[in-house]
Amino acid sequence: MKKLILLLLFVPLVSFGQETYKSKLKFNPEINLIKAEASCGICMLNMEGKECELAVKIKDSKYYVVGTGIDDYGDAHSEKGFCNAIRKADIQGEVIDNKFHITYFKLR
């Protein structure tokens, strides 16, 4: 009985102890918007990688994204998710070490 009570007390502590991270991307009017295509680098953009990750294609260059994740805009494996569709996006940020460090991301 004591084990059951301890278990019931422990489960809520563990679940409330997890902090959800929500990226804080903000539009900067002083920086030009970049029109890009966004999708899963492996599934849709034929990039090398180990798992599904958000990537952007700017003109003919492809970059994995740092600063936001593939599931931050819905389930990546849904019908219109990034693993099944290439979506148009307006982005801001810069390329550092062949990764796009994003500061603003909005799907069109």
pTM: 0.75
| Domains in the chain, number | 1
Confidence tier at 25 by pLDDT (50, 70, 90)? confident
> Is 8 part of a structural domain of the chain?
no
> Is 98 part of a structural domain of the chain?
yes
Give yes or no for a contact between 57 and 100, defined as CB atoms under 8 angstroms apart.
no
Q: Which domain holds residue 76?
A: 21-107
Listed in sequence order, the residues at least 6 apart from 80 whose beta carbon sits closer than 8 Å to its beta carbon are 74, 87
3-state SS of 6-67? Answer: HHHHHHHHHHHCCCCCCCCCCCCCCCCCEEEEEEECCCCCCCCCCCCCEEEEECCEEEEEEC
d(CA 18, CA 60): 39
pLDDT of residue 54: 96
> Is 15 part of a structural domain of the chain?
no
Residue 80's identity, in one-letter code, is K
SS3 assignment, position 96: strand
Structure tokens at 83: 């693993």
Percentage of the chain beyond pLDDT 70 is 79
pLDDT > 80? residue 21: no
The mean pLDDT value for 4-31 works out to 66
The mean pLDDT value for 67-94 works out to 93
> Is 62 part of a structural domain of the chain?
yes
> Is 28 part of a structural domain of the chain?
yes
- Computed over every residue of the chain, the mean pLDDT equals 86
Confidence tier at 14 by pLDDT (50, 70, 90)? low
